[in-house]
Structure 1
Amino acid sequence: MLKQSLQQKLQQKLSPQQIQLMKLIQLPTQALEERIQEELEANPALDEGKEEETRDEYETDEFSNEEESRDKDEDFDIDQYLSDDEIPEYRLHANNYSADDEDDRIPLAGGTSFVQTLRSQLGMRSLSHEDRKIAEYLVGNIDDDGYLRRELQDVVDDLAFTQGIYTDLDQLERLLQVIQDLDPPGVGARSLQECLALQLAKKTPSPAVQLAITLMDDYFDEFVRKHYSKMLDRLDITEDELRDALEVISKLNPKPGGSVSDGSRPTENVTPDFLISIEDGELQLKLNGKNAPELNISREYRGMLEHYRDSKGKATKSEKDALMFVKQKIDAAKWFIDAIRQRQQTLLLTMSTIMEYQKEYFLTGDERKLRPMILKDIADEIEMDISTVSRVASNKYVQTPYGTFLIKTFFSESMKNSDGEDVSTREIKKILEDSIQEENKKKPLTDEALAKLLKEKGYPIARRTVAKYREQLGIPVARLRKEL
């Protein structure tokens, strides 16, 4: 049975302006510049740059009855848009970015790709037409690291189906040897072992190089696992001889493709959103000037409203439609300018709170001074939602006297030390990293030994936690840290 009923509900809904503000807050500096440019192109009522100081006086002391009646027919008051009685706050906002500031952006340099470099070298080799096509196809399958990671049998099938070229494994092996003779050394290898062996084969012969070649050919597994004692016994060599051979291997490039500059890859240039400096022992925070563009309402659109207000007689329907279009564009421009201003205020308020919260770290640069801090800590301080703090910290960088960092890296969970005090997990990771750097490389500390060492320093954490932090720091296990 269907029923109709009335029900009252109280719901919270974001206004279009709030939605726009949230989206703007999340944008980093470079993305904000693009977003402002999009708005300038989409809304002709929005202008960029400093507004002229001299302006016409739009307001008048009295209006004729005819003008008053005409304004009354409209949905808005034109004087609201033309009056200078109250200068909008966005026009009083100080700006620290001017047209003569230096542009720190790095231009992208054009160049040839890694594959093009290899193909140009093939052009200097004496190859038949068919061999050249097959060799170029093989080069096209080499990845950015310089490896050929496809099975040759798959390449044979691909050549037959896609190129109509029928070949065999022997011909591919012969042409692959031609490619492996190209620069950089090691290119075209199918494994790390083959890559290092190819590089060693091009080195000037010496006892250390010959021993390194033997290690690659016959003792690669022992080399990878750092079983130095087995290699010493089986090869009947001294530690100094083995050390010299390992030093030769350590200077080889495991990713030869990375040694070739690829101009086709985009150059990444981090633009900090905040600048923190120390002046007279006090922290100073500045917002990157590009976050504070000078925007204003177009004088042309103001002139349209002025012309309509000063015109005599009742407006036609087309004139009213045009006026409503102008009003909508000016409203959108004002909303956008206000959203940019609120974005600046929110960013400065949030970052200044983070700076004060981590004051000891920003004054010293010592990661052990970092306090445990989560999004809720800052949100409670500035009395805003956690999502707002997350948007401010997301994809934004701060330039400090100690380097440029992603803001979210300053947030960390806390743990209890032996005194019952809350310490940041970042502090524990730093101490763990320092302990590994100071260890005896001939007998590296295991995770269990590291856990015991940290406990002695007042940080009682489990072995599995040590392993997790070590992996997050990109540090290998003890066996792989062993040195002669």
Structure 2
Amino acid sequence: MLKHSLQFKLSQKLSPQQIQLMKLIQLPTQAFEQRLQEELVENPALESGKEEVENYDEFEDNVNDEYDDYDNEQINTEDINIDEYLSNDETPDYKYQTNNYSDDDEDKSMPFAATVTFHQDLINQLNTFILSDEEREIAEYLVGSIDDTGYIRRSLQDIVDDMAFTQGIYTDEKTIEKILHVVQELEPAGVGARDLQECLLLQLKHKTPSDSIDLAIEIIKDQFEAFTKKHYDKLLQKFDVSKEQLRKAIDEIEKLNPKPGGSYDGNQKPTEHVVPDFTIRIVDGELELSLNGRNAPELHVSKDYQEMLQSYKVANEKSSSQKDAVQFIKQKLDAAKWFIDAIRQRQETLYVTMNAIMHYQSEFFLDGDETKMRPMILKDIADMVGLDISTVSRVANSKYVDTPYGTKLIKEFFSESMKNDQGEDVSTLEIKKILQTVIGEEDKRKPLPDDKLAEILKEKGYPIARRTIAKYREQLDIPVARLRKKI
């Protein structure tokens, strides 16, 4: 049975322009520049640089009415106000004025050096060994099985099977292992290992022999598990050595590289350079904020498109093709206007949001003391600037600010609050900083367990549970007391 019913529903929909603005806001400076270039390529009505302005005659507000019924097209040329797209202003009105931009808009390029890859370098080193054709093929296959960290993560039997199926080379594990020992002679030391224990042993055997090196080899070979768990008493008893001898052996082990492949220069990924989106400076004891000038591009409507509109306006006869062209031009000009307006709003949103954060955390920005960081959540800033929390989040999550104390990710200034013993709200960042300091000053021969750390922070005025201490310690990437122990 069919029924008709009336239902009231409240919903919110974002316009394409709003979606475009949100996407632009979350882009950091470098990604924003790339997005800008894409838009310039896609929209021929949009041009960069300062506009060369000419004086145009005043046109009527609307296109002649006689073309209203042209093929019932979706866009009515009567709705086109051509004058909106023609400007006599020397400076585009979208440009966010005042001196809120830093002089950081010069075009810089980074040279890249051509380097030999990690695996190619290993292949080149094989040329120094005398190998048969079959041994050479096996050695090259083993080198190809080495990952970027320098390890072979597959079993020898798997390699034997793969070589039979893919290379047509029939061999056995004993032969593979023999050639593997050749590969493990390559530089950097430790390459070609099948696990961490073998990697460390290979590196130690490459070192000049000494009492400390010999003891280190025995520790890794026979007592690897005790070493990883830092059971130093067991090691002292097992090898019957003094604490000083054990300490020297452990020092040798700690100098080794657990990922030998990562140390190869040609194997490094290109360094990602952070471009600060804001700059904060202290001028005469006052904080001064500026937005990176590369976020304020100069854009204008194409002069050729303006002339097309002018020609259409003054034409005595308007053909079908001309009418199609003016509709295309209107679409492109609308898109250009939306994009320019979105850039202006992006600039304003970035500036007012960072300005609010700067004033909220003014104590920190004035002297750089992280313990003076105030508790701050997204809602605090959203309420100050009258923006949505999601908008503030987009600004904070991907933007960097250059301060007198280094370049920092903006979201690092946000933190929850906790009560101290005085009942005052303090930032969790402040507590983590104090925890880090306490652990840094502890006696490494007797590291402080979490319950003891909780007692110390309570004495300092921060009543925190042991499990909270453990959570903060993990967030700071600090291991448990047993693994911080040194002999």
- TM-score band (shorter)? over 0.9
Residue 434 (structure 2) pairs with residue 435 (structure 1): no
Residue 127 (structure 2) pairs with residue 123 (structure 1): yes
SS of match in other structure, 2:418: strand
Distance 1:211 1:91, change over 3 A: closer
Distance 1:67 1:37, change over 3 A: closer
Specify the alignment match of 1:414 in structure 2: 417
Select which of 338, 343, 352 maps to 2:341.
338
After TM superposition, give the deviation of residue 91 of structure 1 in Å: 4.9
- The aligned amino acid for 1:450 is L
Q: Distance in 1 between matches of 2:303 and 2:351?
A: 30
SS of match in other structure, 1:74: helix
Q: Distance in 2 between matches of 1:459 and 1:94?
A: 45
Q: Distance in 2 between matches of 1:14 and 1:469?
A: 39
Q: Distance in 2 between matches of 1:87 and 1:145?
A: 54
Residue 188 (structure 2) pairs with residue 184 (structure 1): yes
After TM superposition, give the deviation of residue 71 of structure 1 in Å: 9.2
Q: What pairs with 1:3-402 in structure 2 (closer than 5 Å)?
A: 3-4=3-4, 11-52=11-52, 54-59=53-58, 74-84=78-88, 89-91=93-95, 93=97, 101=106, 103=108, 105-262=109-266, 265-311=269-315, 313-402=316-405
> Is 1:145–1:256's contact at 8 Å kept on the other side of the alignment?
yes
Q: Distance in 1 between matches of 2:89 and 2:274?
A: 43
Aligned sequence identity (%): 62
> Is 2:55–2:88's contact at 8 Å kept on the other side of the alignment?
no
SS of match in other structure, 2:256: coil
> Is 1:58–1:82's contact at 8 Å kept on the other side of the alignment?
no
Q: Distance in 2 between matches of 1:71 and 1:353?
A: 52
> Is 2:103–2:292's contact at 8 Å kept on the other side of the alignment?
no
- The aligned amino acid for 2:350 is L
After TM superposition, give the deviation of residue 30 of structure 1 in Å: 1.2
| Unaligned runs of at least 5 residues, structure 1 | none
- The aligned amino acid for 2:36 is I
- The aligned amino acid for 2:56 is E
Q: Which digits, 9 at most, give the CA deviation of each residue in 1:5-39, with x for residues without a partner? A: 56665543212111111111111111111111111
| Unaligned runs of at least 5 residues, structure 2 | 69-76
Q: Which digits, 9 at most, give the CA deviation of each residue in 1:108-133, with x for residues without a partner? A: 33312211111111122111111111
> Is 1:156–1:168's contact at 8 Å kept on the other side of the alignment?
yes
Q: Distance in 1 between matches of 2:245 and 2:10?
A: 81
> Is 1:146–1:258's contact at 8 Å kept on the other side of the alignment?
yes
- The aligned amino acid for 2:122 is L
After TM superposition, give the deviation of residue 98 of structure 1 in Å: 8.0
> Is 1:108–1:267's contact at 8 Å kept on the other side of the alignment?
no
> Is 2:280–2:288's contact at 8 Å kept on the other side of the alignment?
yes
Distance 1:330 1:404, change over 3 A: same
My pick for the range that moved more, 28-37 or 6-15, is 6-15
- The aligned amino acid for 1:129 is D
> Is 1:451–1:460's contact at 8 Å kept on the other side of the alignment?
yes
SS of match in other structure, 2:461: coil
> Is 2:207–2:213's contact at 8 Å kept on the other side of the alignment?
yes
> Is 1:376–1:386's contact at 8 Å kept on the other side of the alignment?
yes
> Is 2:63–2:79's contact at 8 Å kept on the other side of the alignment?
no
Distance 1:5 1:441, change over 3 A: closer
Distance 1:167 1:337, change over 3 A: same
> Is 1:59–1:84's contact at 8 Å kept on the other side of the alignment?
no
Residue 473 (structure 2) pairs with residue 470 (structure 1): yes
Q: Which digits, 9 at most, give the CA deviation of each residue in 1:290-314, with x for residues without a partner? A: 1111111111111111122222x23
After TM superposition, give the deviation of residue 401 of structure 1 in Å: 1.5
- The aligned amino acid for 2:54 is R
After TM superposition, give the deviation of residue 280 of structure 1 in Å: 1.6
Distance 1:43 1:85, change over 3 A: closer
Structure-2-length-normalised TM-score: 0.92
> Is 2:63–2:78's contact at 8 Å kept on the other side of the alignment?
no
After TM superposition, give the deviation of residue 406 of structure 1 in Å: 1.5
Aligned residues: 478
Q: Distance in 2 between matches of 1:85 and 1:151?
A: 72
Q: Which digits, 9 at most, give the CA deviation of each residue in 1:203-230, with x for residues without a partner? A: 1112222222222222222222222222
Q: Distance in 2 between matches of 1:451 and 1:85?
A: 65
Q: Distance in 1 between matches of 2:121 and 2:211?
A: 33
Distance 1:224 1:56, change over 3 A: same
- The aligned amino acid for 1:289 is G
Q: Which digits, 9 at most, give the CA deviation of each residue in 1:216-259, with x for residues without a partner? A: 22222222222222222332222222222122222111111111
Q: Distance in 1 between matches of 2:104 and 2:433?
A: 43
SS of match in other structure, 2:289: strand
